[in-house]
Every structure is written in structure tokens, then in C-alpha cells.
């Protein structure tokens, strides 16, 4: 769990005051919001306010601050922008993610849960728990707003998870706006988060007099995002491919009963052979890139051997190192060697208010990258670079995914 001290230090005083007032915290008029440049003293003063509260209220507020602190990053801000755009919540004039989160927590508390889900989806985007599916462009309508379809999908989810029918369940449906950070193109999505009581767990907890064993009902989530215009559905859920396929079948049966079966959009292959020769990474001044380097290459030989080469130096590239040390025996040019993985380092130029930083991405054959670990903005930025440098195969077309019957 994130520590909320940094969150408090970066939060605007007026917004903090309003948030605490909504939560029933009495702050005296002479409270010093600017003590020691809003440093450690302010945090201690806020903690002092919380310590005067009843124990349960104090615990609840600290837990809420920690949740807000965990969302105060790029993914949290992007999630807030996407959800608020879809809900018509105006963020104009708010400065920084801390003020946005405090405003939502005070004035739109349910939205914070949606922002939390949205940030989680972005972190898992492209990962093992996520998949994207394409329906054929047959013009047949979807019924995303139909209550009976939503109820059917919720009921199916409980059955897919093989949970008893009495388990509590709830579906939160909402609109969001996803903006491509490079092209600024907007996509309106219909999203749902399915909350279901998982199998009960027995845990130790303090009772009125001593430790007691209590039954705790955990909650699990299934996330769905769909673009009805492009007829694309994304599903994010634990349980592997078999369960995600079942969710997809239920989605098709309930919301797109007239359409033919969708197919999973495959991950794009990485084109590692592009790196057999020292690449010329084409950049544009608008990219804000100071430099790019291949910092490591991994190889596998046809007879089972494995080699990893890594080199980072100002006076010599990895390619120059391999040529100097191995010559024609280098796995880059010797027969029988296949490139398995490569790590690129993209050094970004320092900008006003931000120091120079490095984006590191590893590409592994046949279709794996570490891009899901990046923020959405960095992920799209690097995707565009990899396409420009011919390191990603082109995305599949509808003709690639569906058989064209003439």
C-alpha cells in the first residue's frame, strides 16, 4: 500500500481542507496549511487531526488516503481523465493528479472506484490477464444497454466461475473516453466491472476481547471494455484463456446474438531480425529523444546453445563490441543463431520541470514485450517508435482475421 505522506505534501491546501470537511474532520480556522513549506510538519499536523478521531473513522480515512496515494501516478491520472470524460465530470482548472483525486473522492466517491479499476486495467493491458477480440463488421446491432442482456451476462459470470448461485454480485456499467496520446483521437467505450463474492476465507482478526477467527468474503473483479463502432471487446480477468473465452461467449450470446463468432486479435510479432545489423533509429525532434541504444541481445543456436550479450558504454556500441570480440563468429552473423530477445534503451531529453529519463523495453520472440508495464502514454509512444523502426509486425486486418466468402 502506498504511503500517503507524499500525497499530502503535493495536495493543494484548499482541496485538502474541503476533503477533510466532507469526511467530518473538524479543522480549526488557525490550522497552519503552509508550515515549513508544506513539508513533514504539515503531514504530522494532518496525522494529528486524524489521531483525534474515533479509531474506526481514523482507520477509514488513513486507508482512503493510501488508496488515493496509490492512484497518484500517470495511470491514475489517465484513468481519471478517461472516466470523467465519459461521465461528463469537468476537470478543467484542477492542477495535478492529487487535486483531481481529492475532488472526486469528496464529490463523486463512486468515480474513485472506477478510476481505480481503470488504472488497474491499464497496468494489465497487454498482459497475461488481458485479451482483445474482434467481431466481424456485419452491421448487426449490439444491445449493450438492454437490462436483460446485462442481467444475463452477470448471471453467466457467476456460473463461469463455478460459484454458488447465492453469491452476491453487482455490475457497474459506465462510459469512458480513451484518447490516443499520440494522435489525440478519441474512442468512446462502454465498460463494465463485474464484482462477485469469491470463496469465503477464514482469517484471524481482533474481536471485542481477543483474537477471533472470522470469515471474510473476498470480492473478485472481471473487467470488460467494448468499442461498438470498431466491434472490439477487451476482457481482463484472472483464470487464463479458457475462462476469458467463456466470458467472450457469454458477451456474444447476450449482447451480440445476431453476429457471427468473434476471434481473438493476436499479439503482434516482434521482428528481431531487424536488429541483426546495427540499426539506424530514425527519430524526429518532436519525439524529444536524446538517444537510442540496443543494450542487450540474447541468442539461441540451432544445436541448443544460448548466449546473452550486454554492453553499455559511451565509446562502443553492443554491435562494435561483438564484432571486436568475436568477428565472424559473432552470433549476429555466424550461421545457426537466432535472436531470442533484445533490450532497447530510449533516452528522453530533459524538459521544463522534468529531468532526463530512460525508457527501457525488452522484446522477446515471438510476440512478447515489456510494454504492458509502462504507462499508457509511454506504451503508445514506444509502440509508435517500434513500428517506425520496423520492429513490430503490422496489425492484422479484418481479412486476416475472418475468412472472406465470395
Measured distance CA(29)–CA(24) in Å, rounded: 15
Distances (CA, A) of 241 to 46, 213, 238, 250: 47, 36, 9, 14
Sheet hosting strand 306-310, strand order edge to edge: 306-310, 289-301, 337-348, 357-364, 368-369
Distances (CA, A) of 180 to 132, 175, 383: 17, 16, 12
Give the Cβ contact number of residue 340 at 10 Å. 17
Measured distance CA(27)–CA(371) in Å, rounded: 45
pLDDT the model gives residue 166: 85
Strand segments (E) across 50-162: 130-134
User: 195: alpha, beta or left, given left = phi > 0 and alpha = psi -120 to 50?
Assistant: beta
Measured distance CA(54)–CA(52) in Å, rounded: 7
pLDDT the model gives residue 401: 67
Tens of pLDDT, residue by residue, the chain (406 residues): 457 788 888 888 889 889 999 998 888 777 877 644 445 777 888 888 888 888 888 889 989 999 999 999 888 998 999 999 999 999 999 988 999 999 999 999 999 999 999 988 887 877 778 888 999 888 888 999 999 999 999 999 999 988 888 889 999 999 999 887 656 788 999 999 999 988 778 888 887 778 888 877 788 899 999 999 989 999 999 888 899 999 999 999 999 999 888 888 888 889 999 999 999 999 998 889 999 999 999 999 988 889 999 987 778 999 999 999 999 999 999 999 999 999 999 999 987 767 889 999 999 988 888 887 777 788 888 988 999 999 998 877 666 666 544 4
Measured distance CA(137)–CA(125) in Å, rounded: 24
pLDDT the model gives residue 170: 93
Burial of residue 279 (number of CB atoms within 10 Å: 0-12, 13-18, 19+): middle
Query: Quick check: 275 and 253 in contact, CB under 8 A?
Result: no
pLDDT the model gives residue 182: 58
Nearest to 320 by CA among 345, 297, 343: 297
Q: Is 302 helix (H, G, I), strand (E, B) or coil?
A: coil
User: 97: alpha, beta or left, given left = phi > 0 and alpha = psi -120 to 50?
Assistant: alpha
pLDDT the model gives residue 181: 63
What is the CB-side half-sphere exposure of residue 393 using CA atoms within 13 A? 16
* 182, containing H or E segment: none
pLDDT the model gives residue 271: 94
C-alpha dihedral, 74 to 76 to 79 to 84, nearest 10°:
-110
Q: Looking at the whole model, is its pTM more than 0.85?
A: no
pLDDT the model gives residue 1: 41
- Enter the DSSP assignment of 283: -
Measured distance CA(317)–CA(300) in Å, rounded: 21
CA angle 366, 130, 193 (to 5 degrees): 175
Amino acid at each position: 500500500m502506498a504511503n500517503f505522506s507524499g500525497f499530502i505534501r503535493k495536495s493543494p491546501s484548499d482541496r485538502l481542507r474541503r476533503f477533510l470537511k466532507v469526511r467530518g474532520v473538524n479543522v480549526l480556522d488557525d490550522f497552519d496549511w503552509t508550515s515549513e513549506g508544506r513539508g513533514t510538519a504539515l503531514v504530522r499536523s494532518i496525522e494529528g487531526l486524524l489521531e483525534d478521531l474515533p479509531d474506526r473513522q481514523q482507520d477509514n480515512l488513513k486507508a482512503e488516503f493510501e488508496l488515493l496515494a496509490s492512484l497518484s501516478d500517470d495511470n491514475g491520472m489517465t484513468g481519471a481523465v478517461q472516466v470523467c470524460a465519459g461521465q461528463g465530470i469537468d476537470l478543467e482548472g484542477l492542477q495535478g493528479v492529487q487535486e483531481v483525486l481529492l475532488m472526486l473522492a469528496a464529490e463523486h466517491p463512486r468515480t474513485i472506484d472506477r478510476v481505480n479499476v481503470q488504472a488497474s486495467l491499464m497496468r494489465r493491458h497487454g498482459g497475461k490477464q488481458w485479451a482483445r477480440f474482434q467481431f466481424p463488421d456485419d452491421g448487426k446491432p449490439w444491445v449493450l444497454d438492454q437490462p436483460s442482456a446485462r442481467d444475463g451476462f452477470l448471471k453467466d459470470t457467476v456460473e463461469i466461475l463455478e460459484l454458488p448461485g447465492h453469491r452476491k454480485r453487482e455490475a457497474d456499467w459506465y462510459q469512458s473516453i480513451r484518447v490516443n496520446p499520440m494522435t489525440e483521437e478519441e474512442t468512446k467505450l462502454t465498460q463494465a466491472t463485474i464484482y462477485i463474492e469469491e470463496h469465503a476465507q477464514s482469517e484471524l482478526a481482533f474481536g471485542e476481547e481477543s483474537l477471533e477467527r472470522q470469515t471474510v468474503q473476498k470480492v473478485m473483479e472481471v473487467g470488460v471494455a467494448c468499442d461498438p463502432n470498431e466491434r472490439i471487446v477487451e476482457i481482463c480477468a484472472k483464470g487464463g484463456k479458457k475462462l476469458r473465452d467463456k466470458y467472450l461467449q457469454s458477451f456474444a450470446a447476450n449482447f451480440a446474438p445476431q453476429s457471427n463468432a468473434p476471434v481473438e486479435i493476436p499479439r503482434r510479432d516482434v521482428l528481431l531480425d531487424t536488429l541483426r545489423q546495427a540499426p539506424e533509429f530514425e527519430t524526429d525532434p518532436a519525439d524529444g529523444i536524446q538517444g537510442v541504444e540496443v543494450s542487450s541481445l540474447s541468442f539461441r543456436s540451432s544445436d541448443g546453445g544460448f548466449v546473452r550479450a550486454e554492453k553499455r558504454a559511451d565509446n562502443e556500441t553492443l554491435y562494435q563490441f561483438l564484432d571486436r570480440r568475436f568477428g565472424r563468429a559473432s552470433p549476429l552473423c555466424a550461421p545457426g543463431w537466432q535472436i531470442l530477445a533484445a533490450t532497447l534503451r530510449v533516452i528522453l531529453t530533459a524538459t521544463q520541470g522534468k529531468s532526463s529519463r530512460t525508457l527501457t523495453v525488452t522484446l522477446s520472440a515471438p510476440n512478447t514485450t515489456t510494454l504492458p508495464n509502462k504507462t499508457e502514454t509511454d506504451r503508445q509512444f514506444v509502440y509508435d517508435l517500434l513500428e517506425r523502426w520496423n520492429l513490430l509486425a503490422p496489425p492484422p486486418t479484418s481479412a486476416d482475421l475472418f475468412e472472406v466468402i465470395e
